[in-house]
Amino acid sequence: TARQAVNMTADELAERYASYKLLHNEFATVWFYNDETRKEREARHRKKAQKLIKEELDKHVSTDSVRSLIAESDEITKTEGELAKLKKARKYSEYREGMSRLRQEHDMQILARVKRYKHDIDLLTKQFLAPGISREESDSIVGKMIQKRENLMNDINNRKK
Above pLDDT 70, what percent of the chain?
97
pLDDT of residue 2: 76
CA gap 9, 13 in Å, rounded: 6
Provide block-wise average pLDDT over 10 residues at a time, the chain (161 residues): 82 89 74 80 91 91 90 92 88 90 88 93 93 90 94 88 69
Query: What digits encode the pLDDT tens for the residues 17-53?
Result: 988 888 787 766 766 777 888 888 889 999 999 999 9
State residue 73's pLDDT score.
Answer: 92
**Whole-number Å distance between alpha carbons of 134 and 34:** 32
Q: What is the pLDDT of residue 27?
A: 67
Q: What is the CA radius of gyration of the chain?
A: 22
pTM of the model: 0.76
